[in-house]
């Protein structure tokens, strides 16, 4: 199951420390591309970063091991740029 979690720098630091990212999860009602995009946009309301993860169940912890990508609004424009999990420290450097 894919979940989207809006977060900030503190949430990303939690991921780096091996902890689950805190925040409300958004799940798309289907695997339709538009539904997935809408879920991503909804999660973006909760922070400048959206963590996208594949979890076993909706309440499973979102740790770095299950994160697939980071979507970042680094300039406040609302446009989300895609980053790989290996770029987590780079993403942190973009955030206040």
Query: At 26, is the secondary structure helix, strand, or coil?
Result: strand
pTM: 0.94
Q: Kindly state the average pLDDT of the residues 1-15.
A: 96
Q: Name which residue leads in pLDDT, 13 or 58.
A: 13
The per-residue pLDDT for range 47-80, each reduced to its tens digit, is 999 999 999 998 899 999 999 999 999 888 999 9
Residue 96's pLDDT band, with cuts at 50, 70 and 90, is confident
According to the model, what pLDDT value does residue 29 have?
A: 96
Q: Which of 52, 46, 44 is nearest to 83 (CA)?
A: 52
CB under 8 Å to 51, separation ≥6 — which residues?
4, 5, 6, 7, 11, 12, 15, 21, 23, 62, 67, 70
């Amino acid at each position: 199951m894919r979940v989207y979690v809006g977060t900030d720098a503190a949430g990303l630091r939690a991921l780096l420390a091996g902890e689950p990212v805190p925040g409300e999860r958004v799940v798309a009602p289907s695997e339709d591309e538009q539904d997935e995009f809408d879920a991503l946009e909804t999660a973006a309301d909760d922070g400048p970063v959206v963590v996208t993860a594949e979890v076993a169940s909706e309440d499973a912890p979102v740790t770095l091991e299950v994160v697939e990508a980071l979507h970042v609004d680094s300039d406040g424009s609302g446009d989300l740029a895609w980053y790989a999990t290996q770029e987590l420290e780079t993403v942190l450097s973009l955030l206040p």
